[in-house]
Amino acid sequence: MDKVKVGVAGFGVIGQRLADGVARQEDMELVGVADVAPTLAVMALAERGMPYDLYAAAPGARETLEAAGIPVTGDFDDLIAQVDIMLDSAPGGIGAKNKAKYEAAGVKAIFQGGEADEVADVFFHGYANYENGVGQDYLKLTSCNTTGLIRTIDALDRAFGIEKVAITIIRRVADPGDTHRGLVDTLQIEPIPNHQAVDLMSIMPHIDATGILVHTPVTHGHIITIVATPKRDVTKEEVLEAFTTHPRIRVVRIADGFDTNTSLFNYGRFLGHPRGDMYEVGLFEETIGFSGDDIMFAINIPQESVVIPETIDGIRAALSMQTDRLDGVAVTNQYLGM
């Protein structure tokens, strides 16, 4: 079978990782990546000898890039012309503009959480609503927190049914090296409900969700605590079983040294993953407990890389490479080594 051809728009935090993730899929071909300026990520790509072809994503960008010594393969239209689907990880709002080009070229696309919902036909999560994406032209992924959160709620819901969830998001306020946002010695709180709860209900409309979000001055992953009301009485073993059998949830133990978000960030580094990427959400085993009949637990969201698997699931769904949910995610997982 011919490989599916994929392009990536925006070689930033998400785009770099999408490119790597696609390159690992043996039934996909990464045609190239597009960006507009010689960012550090683009300079590093050049220093590595251009393992991925780079396309200039805006008028004048080619000149800027070449002036910085970055080899450029072609313009954005050249990239779009060669692919079956674009993964758009350009900064929020740019994707909506890019969409006109994708439509003109008859190319499908998957957008990230930063774009407005209107950009897409389907709000997509590989595990929770894969079927909704099958054969669709434009998908939008859930954000990093929502993607990871839904993995765990979906796991419990499919095991024994979940009625409602109340979540507390302890949010990392910036990515490593991001100087454009930040907090110093302060916890910033937002009104209830947070958008992640609202988004969860979009994807899983049969569950009632709400929650409070607090921004914290850290960069290496969000932590979320969850109070989930199951539809029947469950044991801790059942809960743990639902989590440990999920390929995208890594159950870790505080007693083993996984007592921080950064321990999971470091573990990805220790594993030798590029940039220390971690695709799984971490689930802290010793945080599983009960409030009456409600389940309580806490997870870690590696915000830089958590959405990569579900985005690749989206390619599979949109291009009908696999039409069954478990078939689709299984192939993604296999090639990502999960």
What is the distance between the alpha carbons of residues 134 and 163, in angstroms, rounded to a whole number? 27
CB of 81 to a copy of itself, least distance (A): 28
Going by the DSSP 8-state scheme, the letter that residue 51 receives in this structure is S
Nearer to a copy of itself, 262 or 320 (CB): 262
Considering the complex, what minimum distance in angstroms separates the CB of residue 111 from a copy of itself? 24
Is 64 among the residues that bind a copy of itself (CB under 8 A)?
Answer: no
Which residue lies nearer to a copy of itself by CB, 39 or 132? 39
Handedness of CA 181, 14, 147, 218 (dihedral sign): negative
Number of residues that bind a copy of itself (CB under 8 A): 83
144 is catalytic: yes
From candidates 77, 103, 117, 259, binder to a copy of itself by CB under 8 A:
259
* Radius of gyration, alpha carbons of the chain: 20
Q: Give the integer Cα–Cα distance in Å for 306 and 224.
A: 14
Residue-wise over 307-316: b if at least 16 C-beta within 10 A, else e?
A: bbbbbbbbbb
286 near a copy of itself (CB under 8 A): yes
Inter-residue contact 70 to 53 (CB < 8 Å): no
Q: How far is CA 121 from the centre of its chain?
A: 18
Q: Is residue 288 within the footprint of a copy of itself (CB under 8 A)?
A: yes
For a copy of itself, which is the closer residue by CB, 18 or 107?
18
Asked if 198 touches a copy of itself (CB under 8 A), the answer is: no
Catalytic-labelled residue, pool 8, 144, 149, 170: 144
Among 189, 205, 206, 232, binds a copy of itself (CB under 8 A): 189
Question: Is there binding between residue 216 and a copy of itself (CB under 8 A)?
Answer: yes
Q: Does 89 bind a copy of itself (CB under 8 A)?
A: no
- Binding a copy of itself (rule: CB under 8 A), the pick from 3, 26, 47, 131 is 47
| Of 9, 5, 23, 183, the residue nearest 85 (C-alpha) | 5
Is residue 21 near a copy of itself by the rule CB under 8 A?
no
Binding of residue 276 to a copy of itself (CB under 8 A)? yes
CB of 154 to a copy of itself, least distance (A): 18
- Please identify, using beta-carbon distances, which residue of 97 and 231 lies nearer to a copy of itself: 231
Residue 140 to residue 111: CA distance in whole angstroms? 5
Name residues contacting a copy of itself, limited to 149-188 (CB under 8 A). 163-166, 168, 170, 172-174, 176-179, 181-188
Phi, psi dihedral angles at 37 (to 5 degrees): -155, 160
Distance CA 212, CA 171 (A): 10
249 CB neighbour count, 10 Å cutoff? 20
> Which residue lies nearer to a copy of itself by CB, 105 or 227?
227
Nearest CB to a copy of itself, comparing residues 11 and 76: 11
Comparing C-alpha atoms, which of 29, 40, 37 is closest to residue 55?
37
Please give the positions annotated as active site.
144
